Structure 1
Amino acid sequence: MTLNRRSFLGTGLALGAALSAPRAIGQAKPRVVIVGGGAGGATAARYIAKDSQGAIDVILIEPTRTYYTCFFSNLYIGGFRELNSIAHNYGGLASEYGVNVVHDWVIGVDRDAKTVSTAAGHSLAYDRLIVAPGIDFVDGAVPGWSTAAQNKMPHSWKAGSQTQLLKAQIEAMPEGGTFCMVAPPNPYRCPPGPYERISMVAHVLKERNPTAKILVADPKPKFSKMALFQEGWERHYTGMVEWLGPDFGGGNVSVDPDAMTVDIDGSVEKVDVCNVIPAQKAGHIAQVAGLTDASGFCPIVPATMQSRMDENIHVLGDATIAGDMPKSGFSANSQAKVAAMAVRAALTGSRAFPAKFSNTCWSLIDTDDGVKVGASYQATEEKIAKVDGFISQTGEDAALRKATYEESLGWYAGITADMFG
């Protein structure tokens, strides 16, 4: 599948008085405002605009002109992709589907007035609001680390410049040096998966710096695809990766970015590169809008992805409490289609079908050694519930693992076309 890489062609509407003006009484078209242009927001914008055939005014607000996918960013670190291969723009949504793409920050939501305000001073009225803000980090989650230290100890959990920085640090490690990852607690955005990232770092070091060591401090006693990764690490990177779970101090970690040290349960390790992935919460605007609960994430109505705090707002992707669904780009894309259908039904009277969801997460362990896990889901009153699932098995032959990796390449081409047109 060939991706259409247009340069940004404008927003389709003027960003001055046209956006700032209040909705006219009796205005013909209902308006949907979407905050965040990732896998959830971009997909929702495209599907609402496409399937409503112009009956709904769709405004997508996203601060960046170039969107780098978190999924497949680990493959860039591992040398399997170029950075520009995970970079996408919004020109297709504007020119092909008539989405009004506004590059700005949303700084406030007035739920009573049904308006959002932006950093540039615009106030946009909505009939329905879709919030897809991704994640932010929990302050103090890793003692000694804050976003002020992210250039010394990068998180690389938001793709782009952070991903470039981490890759450069890995490639500049001294011979026999130490790479350390401070892995996140559940729940966390994935992909980029922490353990695929370890595999990609090991792949680079095996080629460039084979006496280097990788240390993983993990607060979790187990993780997704654990047996598959540990089998792969032993097969491809024998003796390079040391994983320390909570029984070995992985849950009691602090860092000193200036000294480049990691304290693991009282044992201080001098490291050359430290990838700190803190605990996460819904993106800031979800908190500002009052859409989060005590967990820091957003409770939703599974059948429609409506916020349980406000029926006129739908929340997508990593920011949600999505029951059995993981926080993945595939999940956000799937949830966006459910929300788009619900929004169209509410605003145009079109038919809405029962919500169904799906997800697959692929990971690359080494060249042509791909594994996956996935499931289908349905909406219940309480949550998005798993119906059935699948996972790669240990001991699979090389042909099957290569086919799994190639399947992931096809999926990437397909989902990015589904998001951006």
Structure 2
Amino acid sequence: MSTTPTGTISRRRFGLLAGAGFATLALPTYLRAQDKAKVVIIGGGAGGATAAKYLAKDSKGALDVTLIEDNDTFTTCFFSNLYLGGYRDFASITHGYDALVSAYGIRKVTGMAMSVDRAAKTVTMADGAVVPYDRLVLSPGIDMVYDSVPGYSEEAAQTAPHAWKAGPQTELLKAKLDALTDGQNIVMVAPPNPYRCPPGPYERVSMMAHVLKSKGYSQSKIFVIDPKPQFSKQALFQEGWEKHYPGMVEWYGPDVHGGIQSIDVAAGTVETDLDTFEGALLNIIPAQKAGAIATAAGVAGETGFCPIDAASMRSTMDEAIFVIGDASIAGDMPKSGFSANSQAKVAAMNIRADLTDSKAFPAKYSNTCWSLIETDDGVKVGALYEPKDGKITSVEGFVSQTGEDAALRKATYEESIGWYDGIVADMFS
């Protein structure tokens, strides 16, 4: 992030600006250990890890901070497409929690949170353990609505991976992509709005095409069956596909394909009103909703996502609960790792104001989404946001333009690398 939307980001600058924007002027009250207020965070991704770190660090020991995450490590969805494209290895997008524990005294609980008793202010774990809280932060990411695509299921995802939760699904998709031979096709079913990482499916298409092209495959095609009439950075992606992968990528919107009737993962087919598309690799990305714990806690609305107060990220259904990241209804902000990191700092600031004598300042949010189309051909879209009229509203935006020269596109890609290094350091160290 930068003081102006068009500025570049280095790892050092990201860390400095990320911390400075939400610093408090007043030092928090120093409580005796047995009197510490308890903050529990569920979900250790871009939102949850950031919230845990800033709560512990900026309260200077005044808060008892517990981070609940059912995995020992976290694999970022952002940059997972670059792993698919062969630009990064899997280890480079996987990160641990040791530094959060050792440097900030955060208690890391590895396990699954199953339920929340809002009256008692407790979280019950899968093993029956009960964790009390004074404030609860929910950052559970997304769950898949498998039946939003006729014929798809959690079991079918083992054959036709969605890979929209990074980890084993990402590795499965990579293995299937790498196993294709020339002439074998890929069929992607893109997700409906709202979903995690709006440009993500189309960057993935680009990375898949890069792999096919780099192997010299001239007979394979990628068919994109999209329930949306338009998508993020569409002109940029379509320009890039025509430039780098001519004739390889075919995108079909709903006005052309007419609707998805069914998929058959065993046969490798996606049937639409227009035609039946066949692929040796099906990448099915269904509709999404907030992670299950949000529903279990009773803070998800009819949309499946969680309404929040735009000025604080506090749940509108429970003043002791904050919801950040993909699970929240965050107005104009997209569901992205950058957004979750930004929202976590606002939530942490307001929790410290609740539980100590520190001051909460007016919320400011930011986001940028970078995408790689081909080697050194990077594009971006982003904005600055503020609470307005009860929602998080974009107040200044920017987007790459078609026809940009190669040097600018390379600089945009290099900027994204600096941002990635910066945000994972901000989250985990």
Pick the TM interval, shorter chain. Answer: over 0.9
Partner of 1:326: 334
The partner residue of 1:398 within 394, 406, 414 is 406
The question of 1:338 aligning with 2:326 is answered no
Task: Tell me, yes or no, if structure 1 residue 156 matches structure 2 residue 163.
Answer: yes
Q: Indicate if the aligned counterparts of 1:217 and 1:253 stay in contact, CA closer than 8 A.
A: no
Counting only pairs closer than 5 Å after superposition, residues 13-52 of structure 1 correspond to structure 2 as 27-52=34-59
Select the residue among 408, 411, 420 that pairs with 1:412: 420
Asked if 1 retains the 8 angstrom alpha-carbon contact of 2:149 and 2:260, the reply is no
Measured on the aligned residues, the alpha-carbon RMSD in Å equals: 1.5
TM-score by length of 1: 0.93
The amino acid of 1:248's aligned partner reads V
What is the DSSP-based 3-state SS (H/G/I as helix, E as strand, rest coil) of the residue aligned with 2:401? coil
Query: Could you tell me how far apart the structure 2 residues matched to 1:144 and 1:382 are?
Result: 39
Identity of aligned residues (%): 63
TM-superposed CA distance for 1:258, in Å, is 1.6
Render the CA deviation track for 1:108-159: whole Å, top value 9, x for unaligned: 1000000000012210110000000000012410000011111110000011
Closer, same or farther in 2 for the Cα pair 1:314/1:403, shift >3 Å?
A: same
1:388 aligns with 2:396: yes
Give the distance between the partners of 1:78 and 1:376, measured in 2 at CA. 30
- How far off is 1:269 after superposition? 2.4
Q: Extract unaligned runs of 5+ from structure 2.
A: 1-9, 13-32
Name the structure 2 match of 1:186: 193
The whole-number CA distance in structure 2 between the counterparts of 1:259 and 1:251 is 19
- Measure, in 2, the Cα distance between the counterparts of 1:127 and 1:99: 16
2-structure distance, mates of 1:353, 1:268: 55
Q: Distance between the aligned counterparts of 1:227 and 1:253, measured in 2?
A: 28
Cα deviation, residue 192, structure 1: 7.2
Structure 1, unaligned stretches of length 5 or more?
4-25
Retained in 1: the 8 A contact 2:11–2:418?
no
Q: Which has the higher contact order (CA 8 A, sep 6+)?
A: 2
Q: Does the 8 Å contact 1:306/1:315 carry over to 2?
A: yes
Answering whether residue 79 of structure 2 is matched by residue 72 of structure 1, we say yes
**SS of residue matched to 1:137:** strand
Instruction: Find the counterpart in structure 2 of residue 23 from structure 1.
Output: none
The question of whether the paired residues in 2 share the 8 Å contact of 1:70 and 1:191 is answered with: no
Q: 2:321 aligns with which of 304, 313, 322?
A: 313
Deviation of residue 371 (structure 1)? 0.1
Query: For the structure 1 residues 228 and 2, does the alpha-carbon distance in structure 2 shift closer, same or farther, using more than 3 Å as the test?
Result: closer
Q: How does 1:236-315 map to 2 (within 5 A)?
A: 236-249=244-257, 251-265=259-273, 267-315=275-323
| In the alignment, structure 1 residue 140 sits paired with structure 2 residue 147 | yes
Matches of 2:61 and 2:198, distance apart in 1: 34
Give distance in 2, aligned partners of 1:384 and 1:145.
Answer: 34
Q: After superposition, what is the alpha-carbon deviation per residue over 1:216-258, rounded to whole angstroms, capped at 9, x for unaligned?
A: 0001111010000000000000000000001111632421112
- Farther off after superposition, 261-270 or 141-150: 261-270
**How far 1:28 sits from its partner (Å)?**
1.0
User: What is the DSSP-based 3-state SS (H/G/I as helix, E as strand, rest coil) of the residue aligned with 2:159?
Assistant: coil
**Residue identity opposite 1:201 in structure 2:** M
Partner SS for 1:120 = coil
1 CA distance for matches of 2:372 and 2:122? 43
Q: Bigger CA drift: 99-108 or 378-387?
A: 378-387
